[in-house]
Amino acid sequence: MNMDFTQPPPQVKTLAQAQKLINALWSLCAEIPKLRAEISTLKKRIVELEEKLHTNSNNSSTPPSRDRFKANSNKQNKKSKRKRGGQPGHSGVTRQLLPETEVDYIEPHFPPENCSCGGQILLTPDYQRHQVHELPPMTLEVTEHQLFQGSCVQCKKHVCASLPQGVPTGLLGPRLLAFIAVLTSDYTLSKRDITRLLSTLFKLTISVATVKRAEETVSQAIQAPVEEAKAYVNQQAIVNCDETSHAQCGKKKWTWVAIADTVAVFLITATRSAAAAKALLGAEFTGILGSDRYSAYSWVSVLCRQVCWAHLKRDFKKIAERDGKSKAIGLELLACTRQLFDYWHKVRDGTLSRQAFKQAMIPVCRNVEALLEAGSRVQEAKTRGTCLAILKVKAALWTFVETAGLEPTNNIAERVLRKIVLWRKISFGTWSENGSVYLSRIMSVVATCRLQKRSTFDFLYHAVEAHLQGKKAPSLLPNLTSLTTDIALAA
């Protein structure tokens, strides 16, 4: 029976019509539970899609580069009355002139002998200094090694001279090898772009394969310093770790980074497992580990871990964006997080003593743990799951309160890891096992030199030179930095 609910209800006149109407209504009522179930499923799906749509770098681990552009509707675009540039009273910044002893050429310029009025101009000892910085002519220094040959007058054996130690067997010298390595890593140039650059600047024509062989030579030269740096990191009291995806030959792999003091080491592995983390940190790692809540780090005792509060803040914001009790709990957790960072910034700036900081953090710790307990009992499954997961590592939330020198966030690891992420996005990964090994080693050098404010090019040059001469390479360890610099300057 087809019923048009837009019309007035039908008026039955016989029992047969009444029964027919009852049967039709009964059939419709039988569909109601099914429709209710479908509506409930669709509502949940809508909530999930809306949450996914609003996911960004502020409430998840999504990188900022993937955030959708959204104009700030709360910001009023009022035109400023100030002019562009420096404002009145602003102290300008002027480049300091080099001392005359460091200038390559000095060209004196004199005023005319007579003034425009006809009078003679007498010179004074005073003069103005103006320095111009210019690139020297772009030419390569080419050394030809002539290997003479001869024959023994007695046994007639053919003898040829050998290259002196320190002379590379290829056509690239140590500085050019270091230059190529810096371009492929720190400046993220492709091999083909490097061949074009060398051709443009130095009129040097080389192939992509030559660039690849240069990388292999540099990889061998820095192997020992990187292994020494890795052993150093494994023995430190505080280490920060993070990981990101990597591609090798189109297959997914993982890049790990560990940082201690001012030393950073990378490792590319096939998995994102606890075994990979142990390969980086060492199975006997006994220090304190700063990281996110990823399960691969769970083999480290929770008492020796510090969970990243920047990640927790994003989790709390995601909770606060949900409805009902989740929203109230999330907002209170965010308020506690703001209080925590306010105290921490004062400790870091020296305006709050550590003892006072410990006392101030007692109510913050209690409030956060109570809110997490409340969140673990709400009906919203995602909020409940997040709170339960955080409570499993509850002891790792407050390690930084008792441990001097330990940061509450893992930001340093994320900042160092960002360089290799940008490299991955530009190059689309590596294409051999040797390429992955080179990438992990060279990025370890780049990151460590940046942390120590050392020249990456100088380190690579001295490392390659030592490798060609069969000598010990310079060290990446911070306590040997000054010694290495002195040796390099003496050389």
Q: 269 has which bridge partners?
A: 254
Query: To 5 degrees, how large is the angle CA 10–CA 15–CA 20?
Result: 60
Which is it for strands 305-307 and 288-291: parallel, antiparallel or unpaired?
A: parallel
**Is residue 368 included in any domain, yes or no?**
yes
| Section 438-446 average pLDDT | 97
Cβ partners under 8 Å of residue 8, min gap 6:
none
Q: Is residue 195 part of a domain?
A: no
Residue 361 inside a domain? The answer is: yes
d(CA 235, CA 136): 46
Q: What is the DSSP letter of 30?
A: H
Mean pLDDT, rounded, of the chain: 89
> In terms of pLDDT, which residue wins out, 178 or 486?
178
Count of domains for the chain: 1
CA distances from 15 to 8, 9, 21, 84, 402 (A): 20, 16, 10, 88, 84
Q: What percent of the chain has pLDDT over 90?
A: 67
Mean pLDDT across 219-244: 95
* Domain presence at residue 392: yes
- Does 100 map to a domain? no
User: Tokens for 324?
Assistant: 């009902």
Question: In terms of residue numbers, what domain contains 323?
Answer: 309-402
Of 105, 157, 156, 93, nearest to 134 by C-alpha is 105
- Within a domain: 373: yes
Confidence tier at 69 by pLDDT (50, 70, 90)? low
Q: Is residue 396 in a domain? A: yes
Give, in order, the Cα–Cα distances in Å from 126 to each of 102, 111, 123, 266, 294.
20, 12, 8, 56, 68
Phi, psi dihedral angles at 336 (to 5 degrees): -65, -40
Structure confidence at residue 16 (pLDDT)? 86
Residue 144 located in a structural domain: no
| Torsion angle in degrees (nearest 10) through CA of 381, 383, 385, 391 | -150
pLDDT tens column, 417-431: 999 999 998 888 899
Cα 310 from Cα 59, distance rounded (Å) = 10
Q: What is the mean pLDDT of residues 46-67?
A: 73
- The rounded radius of gyration (Å) of the Cα atoms in the chain is 34
pLDDT digit string, tens, across residues 304-346? 999 999 999 999 999 999 888 999 999 999 999 999 999 999 9
pTM tops 0.85: no
**Inter-residue contact 436 to 254 (CB < 8 Å):** no
